[in-house]
Amino acid sequence: MTVRILLCDDHVVVRAGLLALLGSEDGFEVVGEAGSGEEAVAMAAKLAPDVVLMDLQLGPGMDGVEATRTIASPTVRVLVLTTYDTDADITRAIAAGATGYLLKAERPEELFAAIRAASEGRTALSAPVASRVMDRMRGAAGPTLTDRESEILAQLAQGLGNREIARALFISEATVKTHLGRIYAKLGVDTRAGAVSVAKEQRLLP
């Protein structure tokens, strides 16, 4: 089955390169080219492509995320193809309904596979993007503390000082300070009160 594709990129040279590249692969048909978000929305409504290859930065006017939000549907899939891989860009594009997120540095065969996956409604992510998504998911799950760090945090929550914590856990004050530094780093704080507050918010205390 031929995958009908709409290109959206504000650079004519980029569109020409994609047109030539996709034309070399069997099973693809480029049905239109848009240079702005507004054009992409209008052409998608008129042409009903299977996949829209969408850049994020499109100059003045509607950006790629807004265009994606308007275009994406169960019958028209949007595959982001961009040079940007910041957490904010990835999150906004996926939240707007993009089926996949690919970087322009990918090899042609990766682009071809992603287009086919998108046309079938399957998620397609560049490896660096997938890693960032996984990192964000791990971060959202909260930091992971070691058993010793959890013990020290519990003592901290009771208002004990370093010397008292050291005595209670039969370790040196220097060891307590080392663990506190790691706890602060994991929780993103720099004070004892901050550590206790964040630990309570994230339910890290018994």
Per-residue pLDDT at 189 = 87
Flag whether the pTM goes above 0.75: no
Per-residue pLDDT at 137 = 62
Does the structure show a pLDDT above 70 at 138? no
Res. 188 pLDDT band, cuts 50 70 90: confident
Structure tokens at 166: 């050291």
Q: What percent of the chain has pLDDT over 70?
A: 94
- Reading phi first (left if > 0) and then psi (alpha if -120 to 50, else beta), residue 170 is in left
Res. 140 pLDDT band, cuts 50 70 90: low
Residue with tokens 């399957």: 122
pLDDT tens digits along 81-96: 988 777 778 888 888 9
The more confidently predicted of residues 20 and 205 is 20
Cα dihedral 86/87/93/94 (nearest 10): 140
Res. 203 pLDDT band, cuts 50 70 90: confident
